[in-house]
Each structure stands twice: as structure tokens, then as C-alpha cells.
A and B are shown apart, each in its own frame.
Chain A
Amino acid sequence: MKDKIFNILLFAAALAVLLLTAGVLYALVGKSLEVFSEYGVWGFVSNSEWDPRSATEEYGALSFIMGTLYTAFFALFLCIPFSLPVALFTGEYFKGKRVASVVSSIVDLLAGIPSIVYGLWGFYALRPVVISLGVNAQGFGVFLASVVLAVMIIPYASSLSAEFISMVPNNLKEGAYSLGATRSEVIQRVSLPFARSGIVASYILALGRALGETMAVTMLIGNTNNIPDGLRGTGNTMASIIANQFGEADGLKLSALIAIGLLLFIITALINLIAKLIMKKLSAV
């Protein structure tokens, strides 16, 4: 009897989560209909104008979609040279050793730092460096935001890929050693190919994380409503435009911001789905 009640409660809790997700989606779609019916879905997504002045009001999401893609992919690119070695270090070279657990827990610690702290670090410590590198005059922009984002997603990418690398069967590696392969050859020819799809999946998850990051990016990207002029330029991401302008928005602008939220929701959901599919394929092997 007790078991039955427990089952029912668990079922109810699970259902509640589903309902909650459906509710979020429903609210997002419902509130963004206004802007989609004004410009059409494609018209909204492909327009880079963002003009809040009441006389010439016009909203398009392209600048922010581009800003999001620029920062997220550049951050992903920057994070690979740091997270992959960490993953190999903890998952292969020093697997099970004390030093590996120390390194991996320190890297995991990076994931626990609140994003506002990253924002402050970027603002006060990293920005002067970016200025002295001559990226641009005031330091803010896609480049600075991406560097901070890269640091933020390192733990997500590295701990999951370390997991997959450590899952490579020993007999495969031993086979390679017995054929006279050196350690780096084993890693290149055996470990990495075997764990490849898992590593790809973990980077896709890290990308999903970078896409939605708000606070740190808002503090560092410059908050200008235009398609970023390359890595040196300033811009706004989908998350940061919402953070900046949601407070006072109403009417069509509110609808436009919610529509951007919906697009971000869809993009992140798709990315997670792709990562899941890749991992599923892997576990089936």
C-alpha cells in the first residue's frame, strides 16, 4: 500500500515537471504570436533592425542570433585546447590517480562559480588585457565575452569527455601497446577515435551552455543592437537583449523579446537533443 502511494506521488511529480515544461512553452508561444503575426516567423528571424522608437518601431532577431552564434562558437573553439588536455590528463594519463582527482575537482569548481563573478572578473581583470592586446579601444565585445564564456564551459566539456575517454576498454589499448604503439599513438589511434562521439556530445552540451549564458555576457559584450562586426565588434546575444530590455518592455517589444526567448529555447533544446542522439548511438555500439 505504502509502495502504491509512493508510486502515485512519484508519477504526479514527474507529470508536474512535464506540465511545467509544456506551460513554459505554451506561455512563450502564446506571447510571441503578436510579433510573429506582425512580421512572420522568417521576417522576424531574418531582420537585423531593432528600433524601439515608437514612431519607427521595428523588431528583428537576426543581430542577436548572430551575436549568440559568434560568442558561443568562438568560446567553444577557445575552450577545446584547454578542456581536451584536461580530459586526457584526468581520463587517460593519470586515470584513477590522486592528482587526476585533484585536477578534475578544481576544474569542476569552475562550474560552481556564479556567472556574475565571471562577469566581474572579465570586467576588471580581463578587459585591460584585451585592451592592451589592441582588440578594440574599450575592450568590450564578442572577443572578451567569448574568452570568459570559454573559461565557463571548460568544466562542462572536460569532465564529460574525461568520462568517455576513461571508458575506452583496456584490452584495446593493451592490444595497441603490444603492437609497439607509443602512448601518444595509442591516444591518437585508439582512445580518441573510440571516445569520439562521446567527446563530440560533451562539446555540444558545452555549446548549449554557452548559448544561454546571460549575466557574464551582458556585462561584457557591449550591449549594442547590431550584428557584431567580427570578433572585435560589440553586440548583444539573445539572452543579453532579454536581460537588458525585459524590465520596461511592453506591447510589440515585449512580444519580440519573448519570441527571442522562444527561439533560444528551441535552439538549446535542439542542441541537447543532438547531443543525446549522439550519446545514444555511442552506447548502442
Chain B
Amino acid sequence: MKKATLCFLILTFLFSCNNKSDTDKESSGGITISGAGATFPYPYYNIVFRDYMRLNSDVVVNYGAIGSGGGIRSLRDRSVDFGASDAFLTEKELASMNAPVIHIPTCMGGIVMAYTLSGVDSLRLTGPLISAIYLGKITRWNDYRIVAINPNVKLPDLEITPVYRSDGSGTTFNFSDYLCDVSPEWEKIMGKGKALKWNAGIAAKGNPGVAGLIQQTEGAIGYIGSEYSLTLGLPAAQLKNKAGNFVSVSLASISAAAKIPLPDDMRTTITNVDSPEAYPMSLFTWLLVYEELNDGKRTLAEAKELVNLLKYIISPEGQQVAAKINYAPLSEEAVKKTRKLIGKLTYDGEILSPYTEEETDQVSSDIDTLSIKDTLHNER
């Protein structure tokens, strides 16, 4: 009889699973905000969300680093409160989201070409060279085209193993966006997108997967967020920017890339800009939220908390964290525009958190000084 009771219990449990999540939310006093998406800014989100939870002890923020593509899909399925992506939604994607989506930029970062090559600490690369490596046209490290721009480096006669992302990725989008800009061949054969059809190399999942693979493989090169290369101690190549200078990734060189006119909806790429100091593979990373936060499941309190979280991230405290781990804080102009965007968020058509005109214009000078403070890259 005991067994029978057990069976019965299991069955009841199975059938009651459906309603479980709803009752949970009501019974506990705390608020849970969940998000998913990009792996590129994950080290930053990890810290900024933790700080936010310390300040607001009744709030829990969950973030699943599943890749930008996954973040967009989760938001569309309404299984998360916010998605995160390093690629802004295309018009087609926006249309498929069923309701207006707002892009909240959180910080900027640089994609580095990290490599493992014993005895080679500094390396210079250009966009066309990277393109040729990933197209399988340059296959050895001592290829004359690489040697030509690295006259003082002793490059080994070793096969190059390019590494790319196996999942849909905003990092891939920005990487290919840059290469489309500098290499007509790349644009013709590969194009740009979160996922591509690759010709050479091997693949791994997520920024951490690619970084780990590069670290473990002699002769490997791959594109990852700069923070990942720093944590694993991987050297990163200097890239030739549009002005013809070889630049390494740093707060200054990323910030320089963002000194372009920004659109009001903040959907823009900042790869390969004109500025002579700019790092060519720089990018914005965004949190994506629906403009109308009442989706039938979310309570007003939860919506308000979500807005608070967004405001915290772009506040000087939140941006300071970014600077500490080699992401670049948003510029003054970007923060102003983002505040206007957060001001658009509604619940049942009512604007949740209007910034006053003053607040929108007044930007703490902290941020500006931060963006000037330079190069953690070299300090580490």
C-alpha cells in the first residue's frame, strides 16, 4: 500500500507542477528578476547584479549566460524578464517580438583576437588577415603575410587553428560586422550574423568555451571578450584600425570608438570607426526589455524593481564596476539617451519611472573621469 501511496503522490506532483510557479511568486515576499543571454558581458553582470542584490536584500536577480541568440529567444518566449544581447535586434527580429522592445545599453567592450603561441607575446593583425585565417586561406603562423606586419616577432612554422562560436552569438555578430567592413572577400563569402557558415577551424560554445579551447591549444586563435582573455592570461593581438594605427584593447581605445553620433534608440555598432585611437572591434552590449511590462504575469512591484535594476546599472555606481573589469563605461551622451529610453517603460500604459528633464541632462562627472582612467589591460 505504501508503494501505491507513493505512486499517487508522484502523480499528483506531476499534475500540479503547472501551477507551482505562480503560487511561489505570491507566497514569498521577495522579488525575483530573471534574465538570460550574452556571455560576453557575463563577468560584468555577475558583479553588478550581485552588488544590486546586496543593496536590495529582498530581490534576487538570476542571469543565465546562454548566448545572445538564446537571450533573444527567451525574451520572446517571455520566459525571462530581460534578455541580453551584444547584437541589436534587426528590423525583422523586432517585428517578430510581437511588441515593442527597448535596447538598454549597459557598457561597452572589446572583442580581442586571443591566441596561444609559446614565445610570442605580442602580435599585430589586420582585418583582412583575420578574414583570410578564418576563410582557411592562411593556414600557418609563419605565413609571409603575417610575418610582413610582425617583422620583430619570431613566428613558428605551426598550423593555425581558428576557433569560433558554435552557438548564436552577439560576439560573432560584431566580429563579422567588423570583417565585412574591412574585407570585401569576407562580406561576399561569409556575411554577418549571429551564426555563420564557417569554412575553417573548430567551434566551442559560449565565450568561456572558446577561451578555454584557445588556452588549451597551441597555435589556436579566436575572438572573445577582452575580460576572458585577461582572466585566462591569454595574449591578445593588436589590431589595425581605420586610421591605420595598431591599437590594443583598453578602456581608452574602446571609449574612443563610441565617440560617434549615437541614434536615439541606441541600436548601433561601433566597429571600425574613424577615430585614430579607436579599437576596431568595440561594441555596445544591451539588455532587452519589452516597453510594456505588464504581460499578464508580472506584478507592478516586479516591473518597478526591473526598472530600478536598469537604472542602477547605468548609474555611476553600476558603471564604475564595468571600468574595474575592463569593460568601458557608457559615455555621457549614451547615458543621457539611455535614461530617456528607460523613461519609456510602461506598466498598463503608465510610465513607470520618468526621469525629470534635469535628471536626464545631469550626468555625474564620475563617469567621465572613469572613461579617461586608462588601461587596466597593461596593469594586470
Contact = CB atoms under 8 A, between A and B. Distances in A.
Nearest to B204: A223
B369 interface: no
10 contacts: A6-B1, A9-B8, A137-B219, A139-B217, A223-B203, A244-B166, A247-B66, A247-B70, A249-B69, A249-B168
Contacts of A247: 66-67, 69-70, 73, 167-168
Interface stretch (A45-53, A110-118, A181-189): A45-53
B4 A6 contact: yes
Closest 3 CB pairs of A and B: A248-B69, A247-B70, A248-B168
B67 to A, nearest CB: 6
Interface in B202-256: 202-205, 216-217, 219-220
Q: For B66, B68, B166, B193, which residue has the most chain A Cβ atoms within 10 angstroms?
A: B166
B161 A138 contact: yes
Nearest to B158: A137
B198 A224 contact: yes
Interface of A: 2, 5-6, 9-10, 12-13, 16, 50-56, 123-124, 127, 137-140, 218, 222-225, 234, 243-245, 247-250
Interface of B: 1, 3-4, 7-8, 11, 66-73, 76, 92, 158-159, 161, 166-168, 191, 193-198, 201-205, 216-217, 219-220
B197 A50 contact: yes
B79 to A, nearest CB: 12
A248 B194 contact: yes
Nearest to B70: A247
Given A137-B158, A218-B205, 19 more contacts: A6-B3, A12-B11, A13-B11, A16-B11, A50-B197, A52-B196, A52-B197, A53-B193, A139-B217, A223-B204, A224-B198, A224-B201, A234-B202, A247-B67, A247-B69, A247-B168, A248-B66, A248-B68, A248-B71
A2 B5 CA distance: 12
A258 B70 CA distance: 16
A55 B191 contact: yes
Contacts, number: 94
B197 A51 contact: yes
Contacts of B11: 12-13, 16
A9 B205 CA distance: 44
B197 A224 contact: no
Contacts of A53: 191, 193, 195-197
A168 to B, nearest CB: 38
A245 B1 contact: no
A144 to B, nearest CB: 11
A80 to B, nearest CB: 29
Contacts of A222: 202-203
B8 to A, nearest CB: 7
Contacts of B71: 248
B222 to A, nearest CB: 11
Contacts of A5: 4
Contacts of B191: 53, 55-56
Contacts of B217: 138-139
Contacts of A223: 166, 202-205
B4 A9 contact: yes
A52 B197 CA distance: 7
A248 B92 contact: no
Contacts of A55: 191
Given A50-B197, A248-B167, A2 B161 contact: no
Q: For B11, B202, B205, which residue has the most chain A Cβ atoms within 10 angstroms?
A: B202
Contacts of B1: 2, 6
B216 A123 contact: yes
A225 B168 contact: no
A173 B168 CA distance: 61
A268 B258 CA distance: 53
Contact of B73 (A56, A124, A139, A249): A249
Contact of A138 (B3, B7, B67, B220): B220
Nearest to A54: B193
Contacts of A123: 216
B202 A244 contact: no
A248 B166 contact: no
A248 B4 contact: no
Contacts of B194: 248
B76 A250 contact: yes
B197 A137 contact: no
Contacts of B3: 6
Nearest to A49: B197
Contact of A248 (B70, B202, B220): B70
Nearest to A50: B197
A244 B197 CA distance: 14
Contact of A52 (B8, B70, B195, B202): B195
Contacts of B216: 123-124, 127
Given A13-B7, A224-B203, A225-B198, A245 B73 contact: no
Nearest to B195: A52
Given A9-B4, A224-B203, A225-B197, A245 B168 contact: yes
Nearest to B205: A244
Nearest to B37: A248
Contacts of B196: 52-53
B153 to A, nearest CB: 20
A264 to B, nearest CB: 18
A244 B76 CA distance: 20
A254 B303 CA distance: 30
Nearest to B3: A6
A56 B73 CA distance: 21
Contacts of A138: 159, 161, 202, 217, 219-220
Contacts of A52: 168, 193, 195-197
A234 B136 CA distance: 15
B4 A224 contact: no
Nearest to A141: B202
A13 B6 CA distance: 11
A233 to B, nearest CB: 10
Given A12-B11, A53-B196, A54-B92, A248 B72 contact: yes
